[in-house]
Structure 1
Amino acid sequence: MKRKRHTDKDIEAAIAYAEFKGWRIEMRSGHAWGRMYCPFNDAQCRCGEFCIASIWSTPRSAGNHARQIRRVVDNCSGHRDDVGEDGHESGF
C-alpha cells in the first residue's frame, strides 16, 4: 500500500530520502504524521536512540524538521560510511 504524501515539500523530500536509505514509514494520526523506523534496528544501533523518529504533521519550522529527519537517517550507525563491521567508528 502506498503511503500518503506529507503536505510540506521539504519534509516529503526528507521522508523520500529516508525511504531510499531503507527506513520504513508508518502513518499515524494526531500530532505525529507518522513514524520512521531504522532498517538496522539491532543492539549495535545506538540502543534505539536513532532507530525510531516521529514525523510531525505541522512542525514550527518545516525546514528544520526536514533537516532533522535527514540528520537522523545520516547519523544512524547502520548507514554511516565510517562505521566498521564491528559497529564502531573507524576514527577518521
Structure 2
Amino acid sequence: MKKHPNKHIREAIEYAIENGWDVIETGKSGHAFCRLKCILGHSEHQMSIWSTPKNPETHAKQIMQKVKQCNGEEE
C-alpha cells in the first residue's frame, strides 16, 4: 500500500489496520486516498481517507474515532 503524505493520517491508518480494518485502494480519479472498511462487515464502519483534507490532524482524529466506535470503545 502506498503511504499517505501526512504523518498524522498515516498513523491513523496504521491504527485502523492494527485494529482489524482493511484498506481498499481507490482509483486515480477523485480526492480519496483510500477507503477504510471494518473486516466484520459493519456497513456503517467505513470511511474515505482524503488525500489533502483541509485539516489533516482533525481528519486523523476522525479516523481513530471511527475505529474506536467499531471496537465499542466510544459511542
Shared fold by TM > 0.5?
yes
> CA, structure 1 residues 34+62, in 2 after alignment: closer, same or farther (shift >3 Å)?
same
Higher strand content, 1 or 2:
2
- Determine which structure has greater relative contact order: mean sequence separation of CA pairs < 8 Å that are 6+ residues apart, divided by chain length: 2
SS in 1 for 2:67: helix
| Structure 1 residue ranges, 4+ long, deviating more than 2 angstroms after superposition | none
Higher helix content, 1 or 2:
2
TM-score for both structures, normalised by structure 2: 0.88
TM-score for both structures, normalised by structure 1: 0.73
* Structure number with bigger Rg: 1
Root-mean-square deviation over aligned CA pairs: 1.8
Aligned pairs, number: 73
SS in 1 for 2:17: helix
Equivalent of 1:13 in 11, 14, 21: 11
Instruction: Give structure 2 stretches of 5+ with no counterpart.
Output: none
- State the percentage of identical aligned residues: 39
| 1:57 and 2:51 matched | yes
